[in-house]
Amino acid sequence: MNSLICESMLRYLYNEMSAEESNHFLFFLENNPASMEQFNALKEGLEYLSMVSHGPSRRSIDRIMSYASIDGISMQ
């Protein structure tokens, strides 16, 4: 898949396009079945990922903060 098309798909899914860009993009998808198929797969994947709610453990955060303080990086 062309990286520009992939970027456009993500921009559309994350509502980062103007109304005019969205209209052009939807027209493109409607006239390119292979791209529409890829778009639908990407959309489905993003919808699945949005249901996942994981975050770093407190231990991981503490280790990162400890490492940052060793290097003199201010995390505040």
In contact, 48 and 18? CB cutoff 8 Å? no
Non-local (6+) Cβ contacts of 8 within 8 A are 17, 25, 28
Flag whether 15 is in a domain. Answer: yes
Flag whether 76 is in a domain. Answer: no
From the number of C-beta atoms within 10 Å of its C-beta (0-12, 13-18, 19+), residue 9 rates as buried
Res 4: pLDDT: 85
In contact, 29 and 17? CB cutoff 8 Å? no
Write phi, then psi, for 54 (nearest 5 degrees).
-115, 155
Q: How much is the pTM?
A: 0.64
Res 67: pLDDT: 86
Flag whether 36 is in a domain. Answer: yes
Q: Which domain holds residue 56?
A: 3-70
pLDDT band at 20 (very low <50, low <70, confident <90, very high): very high
Flag whether 75 is in a domain. Answer: no
- Which among 48, 43, 31 has a CA at the least distance from the CA of 6? 43
**pLDDT tens digits, 22-72:** 999 999 999 999 999 999 999 999 998 888 888 889 999 999 888 888 765
Res 31: pLDDT: 96
Top-confidence residue, 46 or 73? 46
